[in-house]
């Protein structure tokens, strides 16, 4: 293949744009995972399935409608609602009872894999049973807003993903550090017994945490499927990236978002260069996430980008 | 009908043997030493690849000249070529049973060595990471190995895999599947004896000490890093052997087999049966392998069970739904498993039990005080 | 004078902003029975943790039998003959009490994935002291002496707090140390038994064991030790014979000041 300069230039721009989109979504997804981890200390493998379920809900609702703005809004609402409910249910049915029995973090992790299995394979089973298409996408148009050199383009999904990720990260940060609810969440996380004695309704806080995290996952699932078709394993396939972003970000909100963007950019840009110049398949790109994850865990297990601790520390 | 049942039984026994070895290996790491090796499938895959590559290379080397087939490879491994498939299918004509068995044993040995060698790489994170992050890392590493080997022709012919590797029973007539089940069970038996002897010993105490409190283990003279390493080494060698048995069972090596689901099946077996209990582990493996075999359209067909087509199609997925539910129920209602962990079977425990009984009889104490 | 077996030089260790050790230099001689006292939070346990390799010091050095062992991992110190108990028992919770004791015992065989199987005849045999059967006698004697033999077949996580403490001590005794560090051995133990523990320690000391013990029951401690080191706010405040220390006004101030 002859590599010409224009292809490289516009390919690079295109992969930067796609990386930004993908990275914002990884970051957004990592926000929900971070919230759950911060409050309940669960490394939640089932989180990926909330995203997938939300995407399917958006597909189901929007395909009943004619498309356009109504379908967009209905799809978004359905996705967030299903994400939130799936998340809450998994806590009420599995994690909370285990936590009451004094389960350690590893047991909770195994349980979250179990929940993930039940959810993912139910969806796969249902898809096969009911003969659904292999991939689904909400009935919502993704308008192209600008094209650059005929190869790279900016679509509605690009804008939506970046805006949603930033707004959510800022919102979560403010919620966690500046509000009474956030303080209650932090108190519940560090010492549930003490939190309860000091009058915090830890069950309400816990429910709120799961609903919120699930809704964030739902939002991300909707935005993802707005751009990429979804299959029952989509969430699972992204889980490594999501964990990598959350861990790189040291389980802080801004850190998770930035790490997600860095990973997304790395995936898209390195994928583009490797396939263009080295003819290496993009199937290898998850190796990037794994290497990032292992390096971070080995050398800076507290995370690379922790934008919030400083603030927390100063406030204490 | 009867032969079909025999077939299912042979299949189950083979799976039981293979999953039993995997479960024993996971039990040494997770149950006894507290290392959540959620990358179990990684070591099984490495073993399978090593066995598959060595066996197919040996078969090509020994059989191709005799058969007069010329195997020319360009860029890909020679055993991935179409000519290699021809050699594999006719290898029985020129290779004796002794040779085939020698190849099989060499492959199993290679698998154990490759599994153990990989564990040295894995121990780098395993000695340093927090439990749950270690689990995530190893799980991810297993997934990546699958993705990479599924895409690359090295080492196992990408998504095509290596197929048609001759079984050691090529020259046998009759129920080869039953013979293979027997052979696999022999390996399980060996693994069982090894694990029982190795864990019911001062080494087993050291493993549990590392699991229960690593600081105290260090202070009382145990090199925690080296004990973790030993545990992973043994576990991974066993996992590699299980991988090799899987290869000769199907005659294929395919990267697609080694999904994280397999790790989860093994975790389920150990947690269901009872962690840090070798017998419980085998029981768990027996149950899980039965579930895997029965939730299969062909087995149901053989058993005369008819289901609507849609349900039959969904069956491979439903089995994992069931597996997930089983895991959750066990964690919630019987976290110690069906057969809970007991004291190690060592002379000191036996002597103490006896002496305590005499002592209690003498002082008239409650028998309950001696409960385990 | 007997040789110095344990020496620390200007040890420092901080946790965040807290200076737990602020330049601690001590010397323990062979065969001594030394007490370490000081108000809560004065850094006594931290000193033991640094000496035994559980924590690495920020600066300063530790010498054991004249060898610089600063920063060594605990298992290597155990091999040199340093054994310690814990203030809050760190038992192996899912193992039986008797297994806890046996696991801590010195001179063990069969600890390895191969030796456990191949060396079976050796670690199982009757005569040798280090074999499982020889071990059994040693373990039983210690458990009986500490009056916890009746719970020897219970899981270590399922016995009372005092029994846990005694199990911790049984491990320390079975470690057959040359230098033994014990961190509040009588905390949570019935008062009558406290003296029994010190009687046992005294007997071991007379047989040549060097003992360094943290203890807050001063009335018990002072009857047994020959020398007391007092710590306060991460430093050595003073040291001397029990009667000297108990008359020192600074010691009383330190205790009262922190209360
Ligand atoms: N692991 C630790 N992390 C943080 N602070 C610690 C830790 N260990 C000890 N400290 C602090 O160091 C100081 C000395 O503690 P310690 O050595 O336990 O005192 P003592 O045993 O004399 O009561 C205390 O202020 C304690 O809070
Ligand atoms: Mg203390």
For the segment B131-181, what is each residue's pLDDT rounded down to a tens digit?
888 888 899 899 889 989 999 898 999 999 999 999 999 999 888 999 999
Nearest residue of chain C to residue B196 (CA atoms): C117
Residue of C19, C36, C43, C90 best suited for mutating to test ligand 1, as the one with most atoms within 8 Å of CB: C43
Q: CA-to-CA distance for B227 and C113, rounded, in angstroms?
A: 9
Question: Does A149 score more than 80 pLDDT?
Answer: no
Question: Does B115 score more than 70 pLDDT?
Answer: yes
Whether residue B352 lies within 8 A of chain C, CB to CB, comes out as yes
pLDDT at A307: 60
Q: Which residues contact B220 (CB under 8 A, 6 or more apart)?
A: B209, C75, C78, C83, C103, C104, C171, C175
- Write out chain A residues lying below 8 Å of B323, CB-based: 117
> What is the full DSSP assignment across C28-73?
EETT-EEEEE-STTSSHHHHHHHHTTSS--SEEEEEETTEE-TT--
pLDDT at A313: 37
Q: Does domain A5-315 have CATH number 1.10.3470?
A: yes
How far away, in angstroms, is C182 Cα from ligand 2 center?
11
Sequence-ordered alpha helix ranges (H) in A191-285 = 192-197, 202-227, 234-248, 253-273
Q: Residue A55 class from Cβ within 10 Å (0-12 exposed, 13-18 middle, 19+ buried)?
A: buried
Note whether ipTM > 0.90 here.
yes
pLDDT at A310: 40
**pLDDT, tens digit, 9 for 90 and up, residues B189-211:** 999 999 999 999 999 999 999 99
Nearest residue of chain A to residue B311 (CA atoms): A129
Element (H, E) at C7: strand C4-15
How far away, in angstroms, is C86 Cα from ligand 2 center?
9
Measuring from each residue's beta carbon to the nearest atom of ligand 1, which residues come in under 6 Å?
C 15, 18, 20, 38, 40-46
Q: How far is A95 from chain B (nearest CA, A)?
A: 9
The domains of chain B are located at 2-259
pLDDT at B371: 41
**Tokens coding B344:** 């190690």
User: B321, A117: Cβ pair inside 8 Å?
Assistant: yes
**Tokens coding C158:** 């399922």
Element (H, E) at C14: strand C4-15
Q: How far is C241 from chain B (nearest CA, A)?
A: 30
The single-letter DSSP state of residue A155 is E
pLDDT at C42: 95
User: B352, C110: Cβ pair inside 8 Å?
Assistant: no
- Provide φ and ψ at B344, rounded to 5°: -70, 145
User: A117, B136: Cβ pair inside 8 Å?
Assistant: no
**Ligand 1 atom at minimal distance to the Cα of residue C183:** 21
**Tokens coding B265:** 């099946």
Q: CA-to-CA distance for B237 and B244, rounded, in angstroms?
A: 11
Question: Does A35 score more than 90 pLDDT?
Answer: yes
pLDDT confidence of A312, banded at 50, 70, 90? very low
Q: Which residue has the tokens 């790489």?
A: B121
Residue located nearest, by CA, to atom 25 of ligand 1: C41
Cβ count within 10 A of residue B225:
17
Sequence-ordered alpha helix ranges (H) in chain B = 2-26, 40-67, 82-94, 97-126, 131-151, 176-199, 202-212, 214-219, 224-250, 260-273, 278-294, 297-302, 309-333, 347-363
Give the Å distances, CA to CA, from A87 to A25, A120, A219.
18, 13, 13
Question: Does B367 score more than 70 pLDDT?
Answer: no
> For the ranges A179-183, A278-282, B346-350, B353-357, which has the lowest average pLDDT?
A278-282
- Write out chain B residues lying below 8 Å of A103, CB-based: 331, 335
C 57-116 residues with CB < 8 A to B: 73-75, 78-79, 83-84, 86, 90-96, 98-99, 102-104, 106, 108-113, 115-116
Element (H, E) at C256: helix C249-258
pLDDT confidence of C127, banded at 50, 70, 90? low
User: C111, B222: Cβ pair inside 8 Å?
Assistant: yes
What protein residues have CB closer than 5 angstroms to ion ligand 2? C 45, 87
pLDDT confidence of A315, banded at 50, 70, 90? very low
How far away, in angstroms, is C216 Cα from ligand 2 center?
9
Residue of C12, C19, C24, C46 best suited for mutating to test ligand 1, as the one with most atoms within 8 Å of CB: C46
Q: CA-to-CA distance for B177 and B183, rounded, in angstroms?
A: 10
The single-letter DSSP state of residue A94 is I
Task: For residue C49, give the ligand nearest its CA.
Answer: 1
Q: Residue A277 class from Cβ within 10 Å (0-12 exposed, 13-18 middle, 19+ buried)?
A: exposed
Question: Does C189 score more than 90 pLDDT?
Answer: no
**pLDDT (average), residues B7-35:** 97
User: C91, B213: Cβ pair inside 8 Å?
Assistant: yes
Residue located nearest, by CA, to atom 6 of ligand 1: C15
Element (H, E) at A170: helix A156-178
How far away, in angstroms, is C185 Cα from ligand 2 center?
11
Mean pLDDT taken over chain A: 89
**Torsion region of A251: left, alpha or beta (phi above 0 gives left; psi -120 to 50 gives alpha):** left
User: A114, B131: Cβ pair inside 8 Å?
Assistant: no
Whether residue C119 lies within 8 A of chain B, CB to CB, comes out as no
Percent of chain B with pLDDT over 70: 98
The single-letter DSSP state of residue B335 is T
pLDDT confidence of B222, banded at 50, 70, 90? very high
**pLDDT, tens digit, 9 for 90 and up, residues B40-75:** 999 999 999 999 999 999 999 999 999 988 888 888
The single-letter DSSP state of residue B239 is H
Q: CA-to-CA distance for B37 and A201, rounded, in angstroms?
A: 37
pTM: 0.94
pLDDT at A311: 42
């Amino acid at each position: 293949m002859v590599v010409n300069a224009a292809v490289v230039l516009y390919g690079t721009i295109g992969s930067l744009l796609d990386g930004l989109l993908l990275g914002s979504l990884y970051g957004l997804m990592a926000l929900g995972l971070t919230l759950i981890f911060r409050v309940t200390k669960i490394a939640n493998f089932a989180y990926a399935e909330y995203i997938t379920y939300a995407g399917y809900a958006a597909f189901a609702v929007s395909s009943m409608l004619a498309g356009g703005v109504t379908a967009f809004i209905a799809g978004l609402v359905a996705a967030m609602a299903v994400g939130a409910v799936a998340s809450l249910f998994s806590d009420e049915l599995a994690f909370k009872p285990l936590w009451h029995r004094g389960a350690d973090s590893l047991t909770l992790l195994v349980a979250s894999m179990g929940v993930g299995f039940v959810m993912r394979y139910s969806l796969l089973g249902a898809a096969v049973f009911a003969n659904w298409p292999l991939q689904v996408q909400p009935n919502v148009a993704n308008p192209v807003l600008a094209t650059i050199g005929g190869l790279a383009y900016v679509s509605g999904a690009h804008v939506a993903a970046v805006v949603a990720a930033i707004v959510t990260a800022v919102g979560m940060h403010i919620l966690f550090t500046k509000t009474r609810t956030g303080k209650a969440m932090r108190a519940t996380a560090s010492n549930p017994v003490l939190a309860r004695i000091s009058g915090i309704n830890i069950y309400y806080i816990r429910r709120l945490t799961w609903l919120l995290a699930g809704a964030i996952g739902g939002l991300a699932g909707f935005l993802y499927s707005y751009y990429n078709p979804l299959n029952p394993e989509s969430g699972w396939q992204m889980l490594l990236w999501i964990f990598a972003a959350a861990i790189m970000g040291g389980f802080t909100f801004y850190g998770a978002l930035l790490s997600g963007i860095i990973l997304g950019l790395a995936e898209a840009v390195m994928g583009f260069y490797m396939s263009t110049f080295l003819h290496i398949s993009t199937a290898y790109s998850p190796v990037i996430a794994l290497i990032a994850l292992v390096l971070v865990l080995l050398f800076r297990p507290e995370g690379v980008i922790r934008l919030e601790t400083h603030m927390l520390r100063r406030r204490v | 009908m009867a032969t079909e049942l025999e077939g299912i039984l042979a299949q189950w026994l083979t799976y039981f043997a293979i999953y039993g070895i995997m479960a024993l290996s996971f039990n040494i790491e997770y149950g006894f030493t507290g290392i959540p090796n959620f990358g179990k499938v990684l070591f099984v895959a490495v073993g399978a690849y090593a066995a598959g590559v060595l066996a197919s290379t040996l078969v090509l080397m020994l059989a191709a000249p005799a058969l007069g087939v010329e195997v020319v490879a360009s860029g890909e491994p020679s055993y991935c070529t179409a000519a290699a498939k021809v050699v594999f299918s006719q290898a029985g004509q020129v290779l004796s049973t002794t040779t085939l068995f020698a190849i099989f044993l060499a492959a199993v040995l290679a698998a154990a060595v490759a599994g153990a060698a990989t564990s040295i790489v894995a121990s780098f994170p395993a000695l340093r990471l927090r439990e749950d992050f270690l689990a995530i890392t190893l799980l991810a590493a297993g997934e990546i190995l699958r993705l990479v080997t599924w895409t690359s022709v090295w080492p196992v012919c990408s998504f095509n895999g290596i197929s048609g590797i001759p079984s050691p029973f090529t020259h046998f007539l009759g129920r080869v599947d039953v013979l293979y089940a027997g052979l696999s069970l022999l390996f399980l038996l060996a693994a069982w004896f090894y694990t029982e002897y190795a864990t019911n010993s001062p080494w087993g105490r050291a493993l549990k000490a590392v699991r229960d409190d690593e600081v105290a283990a260090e202070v009382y003279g145990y090199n925690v890093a080296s004990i973790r390493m030993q545990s992973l080494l043994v576990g991974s060698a066993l996992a590699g052997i299980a991988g090799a048995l899987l290869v000769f069972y199907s005659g294929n090596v395919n990267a697609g087999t080694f999904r994280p689901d397999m790790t989860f099946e093994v975790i389920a077996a150990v947690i269901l049966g009872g962690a840090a209990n070798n017998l419980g582990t085998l029981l768990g493996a027996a149950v899980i392998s039965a579930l895997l075999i029965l939730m299969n359209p062909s087995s149901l067909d053989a058993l005369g069970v008819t289901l609507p087509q849609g349900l039959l199609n969904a069956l491979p997925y439903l089995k994992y739904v069931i597996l997930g539910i089983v895991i959750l129920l066990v964690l919630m209602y019987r976290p110690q498993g069906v057969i809970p962990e007991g004291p190690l079977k060592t002379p000191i425990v036996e002597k103490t039990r006896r002496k305590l009984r005499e002592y209690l009889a003498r002082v008239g104490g409650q028998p309950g005080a001696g409960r385990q | 004078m007997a040789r110095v077996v344990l020496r620390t030089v200007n040890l420092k260790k901080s946790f965040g902003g807290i200076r737990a050790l602020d330049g601690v230099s001590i010397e323990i001689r062979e065969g001594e029975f030394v007490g370490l006292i000081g108000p809560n939070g004065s850094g006594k346990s931290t000193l033991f943790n640094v000496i035994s390799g559980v924590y690495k010091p920020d600066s300063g050095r530790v010498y054991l039998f004249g060898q610089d062992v600063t920063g060594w991992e605990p298992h290597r110190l155990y091999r040199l003959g340093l054994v310690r108990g814990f203030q809050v028992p760190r038992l192996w919770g899912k193992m039986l009490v008797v297994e806890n004791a046996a696991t801590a015992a010195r001179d063990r065989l069969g600890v390895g994935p191969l030796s456990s199987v191949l060396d079976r005849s050796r670690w199982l045999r009757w005569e040798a002291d280090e074999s499982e059967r020889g071990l059994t006698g040693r373990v039983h004697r210690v458990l009986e002496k500490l009056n916890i033999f009746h719970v020897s077949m219970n899981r270590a996580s399922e016995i009372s707090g005092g029994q846990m403490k005694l199990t911790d001590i049984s491990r320390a005794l079975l470690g057959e140390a040359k230098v033994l560090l014990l961190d509040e051995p009588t905390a949570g133990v019935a008062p009558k038994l406290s003296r029994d523990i010190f009687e046992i320690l005294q007997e071991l000391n007379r047989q040549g064991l060097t003992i360094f013990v943290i203890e807050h029951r001063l009335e018990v401690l002072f009857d047994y030790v020959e020398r007391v080191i007092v710590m306060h706010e991460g430093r050595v405040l003073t040291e001397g014979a029990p009667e000297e220390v108990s008359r020192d006004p600074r010691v009383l101030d330190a205790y009262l000041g922190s209360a």
